Chain A
Amino acid sequence: MSNSLKDYTCKLLEKNMREDGRKPMDFREISIENNPIKNANGSARVKLGDTEVIVGIKLDVGSPYSDSPESGVLISSAELTPIASVDFEPGPPRERAIELARVTDRAIRESKVIDFNKLCITPKEKIWMVFLDIYPINDDGNLFDAAVIGAVAALYNTVFPKYDEKEEKVLHKELTKTKLPLSCKPIMCTFYKIEDKYILDANAREKSISDCRVSIGTLDKKTVCAMQKGGEGTVTSEEILDLISEAFKRGDEVRKLIK
């Protein structure tokens, strides 16, 4: 992207404006479709402007890790399928997909939204495994925040399949009405730095001229649960503290959109 776009964007930012009509700390329009995937135990389809992701949850029974014999597990993965961008090539997950999965995983895991202790069936033997799969449908920047909204919405839609204890088999086609044991709604806010200014929820064009990004996951209006800095530029501690305040405020607005 040309330097003149960066110039122009900075000039607009000085006047508190962005090319697409937003203010610097605005999200794009957010829409959430609940349970679009019939075969998933829970799912959500999230649009953040033209960025779109589908997140699906599948539950299965497996054995616990030896260091946490009475606790369920979360396994997150992301596939940057080539339908979503000309930059995504078919093939095994590259580092971008792995980062997307891990950042989302951290926001969910560290928020303790899932009560893993309630996912134990028989200590040391059988526990519920929560598979969280992220599929971008169109990448117009900021997949992170869209993925976390999708993940939380999908978790809140999730119901358990029947488990036949005698046969030790999950009956994937028979769904119960029991919901996952959940407690909160972590939200991620990703800020992109352009020169010395920050914008929330950059689209692909803004991202192309940004120097770096900072993702901040919040639980409520006073608790941070995950952070990640990406890109080659640097940030100051004062900036991060300001962004945390912004993430509390903006995160709370988004939180209300999830049922």
Chain B
Amino acid sequence: MGGTGGPDKLIVNGKRLDSRKLDELRPLTIKAGTIPNAEGSCELQMGETKVIAAVYGPKEVLPRHLEESDRAYLSAYYDMAAFSTTDRCRPGPDRRSKEIAKVMRDALAASIILEKYPRTSIAVYVEVINANAGTRCAAITAAAVALADAGIEMRDMPIGVAGGKADDTVILDLDNQEDNFGQADVPLAILPRTKEISLLQMDGHLTKDEIKTIFSMCSKASDNIQKAQKEALLAKYGREKNE
């Protein structure tokens, strides 16, 4: 946010540098069931951001003291591959990754019907293999597909999307440049059915009106992202219908 050495302008004639409209998502492709070992999995590409999500479980809880008699223990892991960033990062989760794993876990817990799986654990793992902003949002959208692919019961399938601000203008789904040199970033997880918010973070400077605009932009985008999630799952399971 607010970095120096960036381009003079991020928005020219109402268009962004990658020629997107202000409220336009980057190209989104989602594939379900990409990891044979996992109960559920998903590979998602959003512009140049690429993430892989895997769900293992419900399975036995280890260590045993974490076991809950009335619901599943949900754990989440978020990590960036060493080669995923322009400057190599040290392998293994750092403090930032651990924080993202925590907010992601809480966001997913809001949708999963954990009471259906007492005394078990459900593990959601995300590996970022190429990072170009919005990785935590991509992680949530991908994790939701992986959870559905694992047959885990949910009240809704959450999606992740970010709103923000650059050149004093509210924009949707920031890329690396907009994130680094813009004025604000608001990653959200939204439950498309109820439009409730299950992840909210923000940094930068925004007015209340701008935040309102971001909420409505992201809420609208949530339907499109959900559509992509559903298409990915139908591509894997759709043929069952014709039996």
Contacts and interface: CB of A to CB of B under 8 A. Distances in A.
A and B touch in the complex (CB under 8 A): yes
Interface of A: 36-40, 43, 50, 52, 54, 56-58, 60, 77, 79, 81-86, 90, 92-93, 131, 133, 135, 137-140, 172-173
Interface stretch (B53-61, B112-120, B162-170): B53-61
A84 B54 CA distance: 8
A172 B53 contact: no
Contacts of B130: 36-40
B36 A140 contact: yes
Q: Determine chain B's interface SS by DSSP, over half rule.
A: loop
A67 B187 CA distance: 49
B81 A90 contact: no
A81 B88 contact: no
A39 B85 contact: yes
Nearest to B126: A83
Interface residues of B, number: 34
B92 A92 contact: yes
B150 interface: no
Interface of B: 34-38, 41, 48, 50, 52-54, 56, 59, 77, 79, 81-88, 91-93, 123, 125-127, 129-132
Contact of B36 (A50, A93, A172): A50
A54 B37 contact: no
A56 B81 CA distance: 9
A126 B81 CA distance: 26
A124 B88 CA distance: 23
Contacts of B36: 50, 138, 140
Contacts of B53: 83
Contact of B84 (A37, A138, A173): A37
A113 to B, nearest CB: 19
A133 B91 contact: yes
Given A38-B130, A133-B91, A140-B37, A56 B79 contact: no
Contacts of B48: 38-39
Contact of B54 (A40, A83, A172): A83
Nearest to A171: B86
A58 B91 contact: no
